[in-house]
Amino acid sequence: MRQDDKRRTNREIRASRLRLVGPKGEPLGIVTLEDALRQAEAAGLDLVEIAPEADPPVAQLMDYNKMRCDRQKRERKARRAKREAGILVEPKTKEVKFRVKIAPHDYDVKVRHARAFLTQGHRVKLVITLRGREAEHQDLAAQLLERCVRDLSEVGAVEHRDLGEPKYKSVTMVSKKT
């Protein structure tokens, strides 16, 4: 639960007089804080301030923990529905690793995965690691990265290039649709 969703409950309420609302939404009138707390305790419910800026503030008798739980369930369900609809909730950086001696089919599969990540709105980091004597062929690694960037240029744009280290080359791409 976010901090801004925190409402004053029971003894945290500061107002001396409240407009009280029943558990089913029925108005119960303007009462003192002590009367409202007594009614809440008698009903086995919490007194929750729902409109602190009103004059007098509005408080409702309810099960506060149940209300918080229901709200969290609705938020989770909404996030799940967005994700299933293809709307990206929180973009992530996905990493796709290549080797200099990559087979053509393997290259195509990895580029297809990177394209899917970019179309979903994720950031993609294309990484080539050079092992042993492969480090002598920096030019091959650079050519492979440029080929990847060219193949993904219709769905993504280069955000950052890291070509400095001898055994590690990478290019970060972002989606063009964002």
Which domains does the chain carry? 3-66 (3.10.20.80), 93-175 (3.30.110.10)
Give the per-residue pLDDT at 2.
43
Contacts of 111 (CB under 8 A, 6+ apart): 148, 151, 152
pLDDT in tens, 35-57: 999 999 999 999 999 888 888 99
pLDDT less than 50: residues of the chain: 1-4
Are 31 and 17 in contact by the 8 Å Cβ rule? The answer is: yes
Q: In this predicted structure, what is the pLDDT of residue 3?
A: 44
Question: Is residue 19 a contact partner of residue 30, using CB atoms and an 8 Å limit?
Answer: yes
Q: Can you give the pLDDT at residue 88?
A: 57
Q: What is the pLDDT of residues 160-172, one digit of tens each?
A: 888 777 788 899 9
**Contact (Cβ atoms closer than 8 angstroms) between residue 50 and residue 21:** yes
Q: How many residues are there in the chain?
A: 178
Cis? peptide before 166, omega within 30° of 0: no
Predicted pLDDT at 80: 82
pLDDT value of residue 58 = 93
Contact 168, 130 (CB under 8 A): yes
Q: Return the ∠ at Cα 114 (arms to 108 and 115), rounded to 5°.
A: 85
Alpha helices, H only, the chain: 33-43, 64-84, 104-119, 138-151
pLDDT of residue 165: 77
Strands 93-98 and 123-129: parallel
pLDDT score of 86: 64
